[in-house]
Structure 1
Amino acid sequence: MSDHNPNPDPTSPDPIARPVGGTEYSWCKAVPVGTGITVLALLLTKPPNLPLLQTALHNLQNSHPILRTKLHSDPATSSYSFLTPPSPHLQIQPFDLPSTAAILRPHSAVSPFRQILEHELNLNTWRHPDPTPDSDVFFAASYALSKSQWAFILRLHTSACDRAAAAALLKELLGLIKAGGGLGTERELKENGEVISALEDLIPNGKANKPFWARGVDMLGYSLNSFRLSNLEFKDVSLEKTSQMVKLRISPEHTDKLLAGCKSRGIKLCGVLAAAGLIAAHASKHLPDHQWEKYAVVTLLDCRSLLDPPLSANDFGFYHSAIMNSHDINGENTLWELAKRCYTTLLDSKSSNKHFTDMSDLNFLMCKAIENPGLTPSSSMRTAFISVFEDLVMDDSSEVHQELGLEDYEGCASVHGVGPSLAIFDSIRDGGLNCACIYPSPLHSREQMQDLMDHMKSILVEAVNLES
């Protein structure tokens, strides 16, 4: 986008530098402790053509400069910046059957594909930096799972790729593969090769304004409110945490009814998923129905269309903001009543521009929780019970998937540093609701979280069946 800050000729051997923005900085602090490692995992039934994939990825790096950036850290000033080299440099790391087998856990109930996904979610390149302060934001690997299945993995630093960008990245990558990697040639560098401006620099004038006293009151409110929040039962708070995944899937028939129920009530699915999670969490504690608990819900909003100038999902980077709301619930809440309340509260916050005015507050508190884990319950660094996305990812490209030998795929990010107990990455695939649900282990156990998912599913299905 040529109207974002002019810069030198990209053919120069010197990389182009841009300081990170406030939200990007919070991810630079979060990823080293384990939250914000974004993974796109593809399960293939055809051997991956690595030269073709290499060309496709280089074309993506040419089209989207942030994918070829290096994250530069300066310990002396505690600052970060994106350094954009003039040419792509990513190399796919291949793992043959013996190498993959050394990573997999034998006799595990978790599929090899899921194990590799979780392995990559916890492969933290940014935790132990090299002697040089520069690290790539984009990695790729190919794993031979068996003689008939392969996993192709893209791993990214979340500051360079939010969920909307990840969905666009997958779509563009599949298109390039179908076209032979970009017709066998590498694309021209996109315009001047500079990374687009940070989110904070593109907020429309006046939208993020907040009086100093109001900022102080809100910061105090967020801090005090956190001590009153309820959490899922913690299973083990002493061992080092990793990210694991459980699934929530609903049939196309029930998904249609669920979306119809949302439409008739003027709400979005994010409110329904949050409500189902809250009801299931309260029920998991076997409390009396009349006993109230307060839970925090974080909703992530894609701000691209609200910026000046507006961006699209093809503008890669991190352009989501968060709105945190708390909800008091007991065992008598019903799904649709609570979903309406969750979504109405979100709309009220959004209409007050809290996704912009509270951005720096939440980023500051996120960094404080990283630096001082003891400020969170049991030093767990849990800042909320659940996080959801305002908008769904829709995917109806199954014919392309079959042609490419793509049997399954997942897109999600790690949460075992600072963050929620449950992060839901939802999409509609072939008409059915598909949710990748990421949680910190062993803070929570796989059995505990799968039980929570099963209860959420039963709540959703029962609610739509009652309307039939």
Structure 2
Amino acid sequence: MSDQSPDPPPPPEPATRAVGGTEYSWCRAVPGGTGITVLALLLAKPPDLSLLRNALHDLQKSHPMLRSRIRFDPVANAFSFVIPSSPHLEITPFDLSSTSRILSGEDGDGADGAGTAPLHVILEHEMNRNAWRGSGDDDADADADVFHASLYHLSEDRWALALRLHTAACDRAAAAALLRKLLLAAAAEGRNGEELQEEEEEAYLGIEELVPSGKANKPFWARGMDLLGYSLNSFRLANLEFVEAEPPRCSRMVRLKMNRDDTQRLVAGCKSREIKLCGALAAAALIAAHASKQPADSKWEKYAVVTLVDCRSYLDPPLSVQQPGFYHSAILNTHDVCGSEKLWDLAKRTYTAFANAKSWNKHFTDMADLNFLMCKAIDNPGLTVSSSLRTAFVSVFEDTVVNESNPLHEEIGVGDYIGCASVHGVGPSIAFFDTIRDGELDCACVYPSPLHSREQMQKLIDDMKRILAEAD
């Protein structure tokens, strides 16, 4: 009888699925710099790397998309998600010296040290760390993780935890849910040293496979007319003046914050007019942009607004907001602005145009059209003004993220946090990631630099804040 123990069974083969149409668009966009989602947290307590890693592994165990890798097949020109059976994420630490170089802008990796706070600079640094830059190139011979984590030592008593995700695997709604679950998981481990076990979810298909039957139907001739209309309209669209149109580009962020009283008045104004905050934000941006050019009031300009809709509740089957993946769709509307508009009149007009389009299922019927045009712009930047890759002036989300502080924040030492995504490839001139936190509006406003300057965008945001605060 042999004493030799049997060889351990080989690890299971990773699951694989092809990306859907919208996911393919993001796989094309992210290498150019649009769609790098970042959550940055400021910590006032020394973090335990082992505890954090275990908490992140718990999330990867329960959400297969968070442990997936993106694979590109150059022969088929196709992307797929490869999903290993076990978590593998490791946290990259940056010591005081390395972090100091980043904060001062000496590292040359996208941050310029001009942020108003260290967390701001770290956020910009992370938005410009592109682990997927080679994805889709013929020389990209390795699978690329969709999830990365880094820990920065800012000072003797401050740290920044940054989570960086590929937007095709985790959109804004899922990222907000991910942050809440991470705090819960980290606090649970900190209290009892045990993993927070959750049932593993299914790695769902792309959004196109889950659209209810008939909702995305559009006659062939109508699709052709819409594609032509979107294309021709793009040459008539106004934008902010470009400061420097030549690449290379990176993403920068300015922050729009309002106190509780102003936020409550703004939210009450939206509620009384039966519109959502996205309408007011878009309207304020349009008014501020038009005013920045100081044209005569009689000069009309046409601006494009993209509104992103979280479709999870409309799918078949419906999905939880905690299900990672990209399940947003876009509705593009154009608006004529002459400079004499009042905020609430324009907000009502912009929101009504969006709501009407949504009622006609444009978030489903136009999904393939907008994805096609997005990829065409990536392939042919010259189709956009000054080869800027700008597809709209502004993007907003239909629904605002609402967060309230809880004891977990203090327990883990969370002092501040920001969530947003990069836009310096194809996309808008400014993207709003709005949150109402403890009753106060906190909006991360991301823009492509040097196409637009920090001074230019800061003035735009200051004007927007004044417009929103002074609205009757």
TM band (smaller chain): over 0.9
CA distance in 2, matches of 1:161, 1:150: 24
2:275 corresponds to which of 267, 270, 281: 267
Specify the alignment match of 1:174 in structure 2.
183
Specify the alignment match of 2:131 in structure 1.
125
Q: Which amino acid aligns with 2:431?
A: A
Q: Give 1:278 shift.
A: 0.2
Q: Give 1:181 shift.
A: 5.9
Secondary structure class of the residue paired with 2:267 = helix
Provide Cα deviations, 1:232-270, integer angstroms capped at 9, x if missing partner: 000001131100000101111011111111111110000
Specify the alignment match of 2:5 in structure 1.
none
Please give the residue correspondences for 1:293-332 in structure 2 after superposition, counting only pairs within 5 Å. Answer: 293-332=301-340
Specify the alignment match of 2:121 in structure 1.
115
Say whether 1:91 aligns with 2:87: no
Is the CA contact (8 Å cut-off) linking 1:43 and 1:408 kept in structure 2? yes
CA distance in 1, matches of 2:323, 2:190: 20
Is the CA contact (8 Å cut-off) linking 2:72 and 2:140 kept in structure 1? no
Say whether 1:152 aligns with 2:161: yes
Say whether 1:143 aligns with 2:149: no
Please give the residue correspondences for 1:240-255 in structure 2 after superposition, counting only pairs within 5 Å. Answer: 240-255=248-263
Q: Which amino acid aligns with 1:312?
A: S
CA change 1:182–1:324 in 2 (3 A) is farther
Q: Where does the alignment leave 5 or more consecutive residues of structure 2 unmatched?
A: 1-9, 106-111
> How many residues in Structure 1 have an aligned counterpart in Structure 2?
453
Provide Cα deviations, 1:357-379, integer angstroms capped at 9, x if missing partner: 00000000000000000000000
Q: Give 1:88 shift.
A: 0.3
Q: Which amino acid aligns with 2:145?
A: D
Q: Give 1:26 shift.
A: 0.2
Q: Give 1:403 shift.
A: 2.4
CA distance in 2, matches of 1:208, 1:108: 46
Identity %: 64
CA distance in 1, matches of 2:427, 2:36: 13
Is the CA contact (8 Å cut-off) linking 1:55 and 1:181 kept in structure 2? no
Q: Give 1:187 shift.
A: 5.8
Q: Which amino acid aligns with 1:208?
A: A
> What TM-score, normalized by structure 2, do the two folds share?
0.94
Is the CA contact (8 Å cut-off) linking 1:386 and 1:421 kept in structure 2? yes
CA distance in 2, matches of 1:365, 1:185: 48
Is the CA contact (8 Å cut-off) linking 1:297 and 1:324 kept in structure 2? yes
Please give the residue correspondences for 1:175-324 in structure 2 after superposition, counting only pairs within 5 Å. Answer: 175-180=184-189, 183-186=192-195, 190-191=199-200, 194-324=202-332
Q: Where does the alignment leave 5 or more consecutive residues of structure 1 unmatched?
A: 1-10
Q: Give 1:13 shift.
A: 1.8
Secondary structure class of the residue paired with 1:311 = coil
Q: Following TM superposition, where does structure 1 have runs of at least 4 consecutive aligned residues deviating by more than 3 angstroms? A: 106-109, 181-191
Is the CA contact (8 Å cut-off) linking 1:58 and 1:186 kept in structure 2? no
CA distance in 1, matches of 2:192, 2:212: 40
Is the CA contact (8 Å cut-off) linking 1:394 and 1:428 kept in structure 2? yes
Is the CA contact (8 Å cut-off) linking 1:62 and 1:88 kept in structure 2? yes
Specify the alignment match of 1:14 in structure 2.
13
Q: Which amino acid aligns with 2:365?
A: T
CA change 1:325–1:307 in 2 (3 A) is same
Secondary structure class of the residue paired with 2:266 = helix
Is the CA contact (8 Å cut-off) linking 2:188 and 2:194 kept in structure 1? no
Q: Which amino acid aligns with 2:262?
A: H
Provide Cα deviations, 1:83-125, integer angstroms capped at 9, x if missing partner: 1101000000001101112222269442222111101000000
Provide Cα deviations, 1:267-323, integer angstroms capped at 9, x if missing partner: 000000000000000000000011100000000000000000101111111000000
Provide Cα deviations, 1:388-411, integer angstroms capped at 9, x if missing partner: 000010001243322221110000
Q: Give 1:128 shift.
A: 2.7
Provide Cα deviations, 1:23-50, integer angstroms capped at 9, x if missing partner: 0000000000000000000011111111
CA distance in 2, matches of 1:13, 1:182: 33
Specify the alignment match of 2:66 in structure 1.
67
Q: Which amino acid aligns with 2:410?
A: Q
Provide Cα deviations, 1:30-88, integer angstroms capped at 9, x if missing partner: 00000000000001111111100000000000010000001011011110111110100
CA change 1:189–1:258 in 2 (3 A) is closer
Q: Which amino acid aligns with 2:316?
A: D
Specify the alignment match of 2:22 in structure 1.
23
CA distance in 1, matches of 2:20, 2:195: 30
Provide Cα deviations, 1:396-440, integer angstroms capped at 9, x if missing partner: 124332222111000000000000000000010111111000000
Is the CA contact (8 Å cut-off) linking 1:16 and 1:194 kept in structure 2? no
Secondary structure class of the residue paired with 1:103 = helix
Specify the alignment match of 2:32 in structure 1.
33
Is the CA contact (8 Å cut-off) linking 1:424 and 1:438 kept in structure 2? yes
CA distance in 1, matches of 2:309, 2:431: 14
Secondary structure class of the residue paired with 2:80 = strand
Specify the alignment match of 1:337 in structure 2.
345
Specify the alignment match of 1:379 in structure 2.
387
Please give the residue correspondences for 1:437-448 in structure 2 after superposition, counting only pairs within 5 Å. Answer: 437-448=445-456
Specify the alignment match of 2:108 in structure 1.
none
Q: Give 1:349 shift.
A: 0.2
